[in-house]
């Protein structure tokens, strides 16, 4: 058995189940779960229709590269969305479809890490736990870059010493961030690209929340955009990961893509031919339809914007609320220990939120998730409003 399996920590929701075990919430209140970031808005009908229309493709083995049409749709969407130079993305060389970004974010570390060289993998703290597990099972050491109020909830890369950058083989970014909703700007990304060029490491940018943002006129920048604007239109050392789960409310479709540096894409393609994870034909056709349509994405943002404003209006008299610029989470300070807050909120109000310390790791500077909780505003508006009213009642009684 792989000995690195023993290094994996329990997933946050396992810890959450233990925390709430034995707690009996009020019988008269229905459970409202703000703990899991699973989109609940309706999946656009045309996506399901495209799946049904193309089920005849089940008789064929799909290609690992996906169809030319899908890769062209992906490259056209990236070019349009992020203002990339025309023809800088070749669908044949710069993009691969993946079965959801979760599996690809894990697999990329297995492909890129040389475990014989005392490898380090840098990642934000708090973070999406797949990053840590991917690093550990690739034989690398995770290095946690704290994102606290002092750094405006962005990873403090300035605190990383040169010796660590020299060991770095892969850097995970998440912008907009999970759980903070903060956006890494172009200048910061360009500084990281320069470090990747100097120390020869790969930047893996998880951009699955890039299409959920508050200001309709100010979409979050992306890693390829930052690279192109500094003259790196070959996207050397840069890979971006995008998904239809959040953008199109289609988590069950398991559809996304990785794009960027052609040499890295070729290596990942070789890995994936052995990995055996080609996207089913009907999923590819549904994905093409989704990447070609923006109207449903604009409506999706409107729904999240409406919920954020309603929840903030209810909570602001009882808590200091800072609506993030992107994503669908509130990363909320708590007036007491985050685990105690979560447990007692469930006991008294039957609302489930996720302790921030479960999304972070202890460092010499402390745990940046301590005294925070993550609230996922994915439920319908009326449920989010009900939850906010219960949280306010609970907080005012403390």
- Which pLDDT tens digit goes with each residue over 280-301? 999 999 999 999 999 999 999 9
- Residue 375 is predicted with a pLDDT of 98
**Of the residues 249, 278, 293, the one at which a domain ends:** 293
Q: Structurally, how many domains does the chain consist of?
A: 2
pLDDT digits (tens, 9 = 90+) for 1-12: 888 899 999 999
1 within domain boundaries: no
- Residue 58 is predicted with a pLDDT of 82
241 lies in the same domain as 356: no
Residue 300, judged by CB atoms within 10 A of its CB (0-12, 13-18, 19+), counts as: buried
Dihedrals φ, ψ of 208, to 5°? Answer: -70, -15
151 lies in the same domain as 171: yes
149 lies in the same domain as 247: yes
Asked whether the beta carbons of 189 and 198 are under 8 A apart, the reply is: no
Q: Name the nearest CA neighbour of 342 among 367, 315, 371, 313.
A: 371
Asked whether the beta carbons of 130 and 102 are under 8 A apart, the reply is: yes
128 lies in the same domain as 33: no
**Of the residues 260, 293, 326, the one at which a domain ends:** 293
- Residue 351 is predicted with a pLDDT of 98
How many whole angstroms separate alpha carbon 370 and alpha carbon 394? Answer: 19
3-state secondary structure of 168: strand
pLDDT for 60 beyond 90: no
CA distances (Å), 6 to each of 127, 129, 275, 329, 384, in order?
Answer: 20, 15, 23, 31, 38
pLDDT for 276 beyond 90: no
pLDDT for 95 beyond 90: yes
pLDDT for 316 beyond 90: yes
> Residue 258: which domain range?
46-293
> What's the average model confidence in pLDDT over 224-237?
98
Share of the chain above pLDDT 90, in %: 95
Q: Which CATH number fits the domain that encloses residue 187?
A: 3.40.640.10
> pTM value?
0.96
- Assign residue 163 a region (left: φ > 0; alpha: ψ between -120 and 50; beta: otherwise): alpha
pLDDT digits (tens, 9 = 90+) for 190-207: 999 999 999 999 999 999
> What's the average model confidence in pLDDT over 239-252?
97
Asked whether the beta carbons of 124 and 203 are under 8 A apart, the reply is: no
How many whole angstroms separate alpha carbon 53 and alpha carbon 48? Answer: 9
160 lies in the same domain as 32: no
**Of the residues 269, 293, 317, the one at which a domain ends:** 293
- Residue 56 is predicted with a pLDDT of 86
pLDDT for 18 beyond 90: yes
- Residue 168 is predicted with a pLDDT of 98
């Amino acid at each position: 058995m792989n000995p690195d399996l023993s290094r994996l920590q329990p997933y946050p929701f396992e810890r959450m189940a233990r925390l709430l075990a034995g707690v009996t919430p009020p019988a008269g209140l229905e459970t409202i779960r703000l703990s899991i970031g699973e989109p609940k808005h309706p999946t656009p009908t045309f996506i399901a229709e495209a799946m049904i229309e193309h089920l005849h493709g089940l008789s064929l083995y799909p290609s690992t590269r996906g169809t030319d049409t899908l890769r062209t749709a992906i490259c056209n969407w990236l070019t349009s969305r992020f203002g990339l130079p025309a023809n800088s993305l070749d669908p044949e060389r710069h993009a691969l479809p993946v079965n959801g970004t979760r599996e690809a974010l894990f697999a990329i570390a297995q492909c890129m890490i040389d475990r014989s060289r005392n490898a380090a993998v840098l990642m934000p703290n708090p973070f999406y736990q797949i990053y840590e597990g991917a690093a550990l099972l690739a034989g690398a050491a995770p290095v946690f870059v704290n994102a606290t109020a002092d750094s405006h909830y962005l990873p403090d890369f300035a605190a990383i010493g040169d010796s660590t950058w020299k060991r770095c083989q892969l850097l995970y970014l998440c912008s907009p961030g999970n759980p903070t909703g903060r956006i890494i700007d172009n200048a910061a990304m360009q500084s990281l690209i320069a470090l990747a060029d100097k120390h020869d490491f790969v930047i893996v940018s998880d951009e699955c929340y890039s299409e959920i943002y508050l200001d309709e006129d100010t979409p979050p920048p992306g890693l390829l955009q930052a690279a192109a604007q500094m003259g790196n239109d070959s996207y050397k050392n840069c890979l971006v990961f995008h998904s239809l789960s959040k953008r199109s409310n289609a988590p069950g479709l398991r559809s996304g893509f990785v794009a960027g540096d052609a040499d890295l894409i070729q290596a990942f393609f070789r890995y994936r031919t052995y990995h055996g994870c080609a996207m089913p034909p009907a999923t590819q056709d549904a994905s093409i339809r989704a990447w070609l349509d923006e109207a449903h994405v604009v409506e999706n943002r409107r729904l999240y914007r409406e919920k954020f404003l309603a929840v903030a209006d209810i909570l602001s008299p009882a808590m200091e609320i800072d609506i993030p610029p992107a994503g669908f989470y509130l990363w909320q300070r708590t007036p007491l220990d985050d685990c105690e807050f979560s447990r007692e909120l469930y006991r008294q109000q039957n609302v489930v939120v996720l302790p921030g310390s479960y999304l972070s790791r202890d460092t010499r500077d402390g745990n940046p998730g301590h005294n925070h909780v993550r609230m996922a505003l994915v439920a319908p508006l009326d449920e989010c409003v009900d939850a906010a009213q219960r949280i306010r009642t609970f907080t005012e009684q403390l």
